[in-house]
Amino acid sequence: MIGLLEKHILIEVIFLTIEDMVRVLSARVLRGGDKLDTPVYTACCSDLMSDVLAFVDEKTVLITGLTNPHVIRTSEMLDLKCLVFVRGKVPTEDILDSAEEQGLVVITTKMTAFSACGLLYDAGLRGVPVPLAWGTEDK
């Protein structure tokens, strides 16, 4: 799989383009096909939007099996770059249209979340930096 990949290295930080991710995940592009050259440095995986809102602090990629409108609204609040739906899930057209409206790239793969994360990690992507714990007293 890696042999097919063109890895990009910028000041020792590996990043993939969304097009690389599509290749790694054998994914199908649902929206945002004109932005596949967007660089991606990190990713996160969750079906819990509460946690995504609480722990994601950067413009990243969300890998999820949840296909309701709140995934798109959460992505908009956080300025995410790309949504990856796993287990072959495809949201309804109106949800996809609202993703397109906000400039999100949306792709779907038949892989499970576990396999998708594993392959992307192997390809060089890393998780979003998350503080080990932050309490309500800290800011």
Partner 1 sequence: MMEELFRMTYPVASADYVNAGKVSTDIKRRLKQLGVGGDVLRRVAVASYEVELNLVIHSLGGELCLTVFSDAVQLVSADVGPGIPDLDMAMREGYSTANEEARSLGFGAGMGLPNMKRNADEFDIKSELGTGTTITMRFNLPS
**Binding residues with partner 1: total (CB under 8 A):** 23
**In whole angstroms, how far apart are CA 20 and each of 3, 7, 117?**
12, 8, 14
Candidates 12-20, 26-34, 110-118, 129-137 — which segment interacts with partner 1 by CB under 8 A? 129-137
* Positions 58 through 87 that interact with partner 1 (CB under 8 A): 66, 68-71, 73-74, 76-79
Nearer to partner 1 (CB atom), residue 37 or residue 136: 136
Task: Supply 118's token pair.
Answer: 């594993």
Give residues with Cβ within 8 angstroms of 90, minimum separation 6: 30, 67, 96, 108
Min CB(19)–partner 1 separation in Å: 26
Q: Does 49 bind partner 1 (CB under 8 A)?
A: yes
Question: In the chain, where does DSSP find H-type helix?
Answer: 18-24, 49-55, 69-78, 93-101, 113-123
The CA dihedral of 123, 85, 26, 60, to the nearest 10 degrees, is -30
Min CB(12)–partner 1 separation in Å: 25
Q: Does 50 bind partner 1 (CB under 8 A)?
A: yes
Q: Does 94 bind partner 1 (CB under 8 A)?
A: no
Q: Which residue ranges make up the site for partner 1 (CB under 8 A)?
A: 47-51, 53-54, 66, 68-71, 73-74, 76-79, 134-136, 138-139
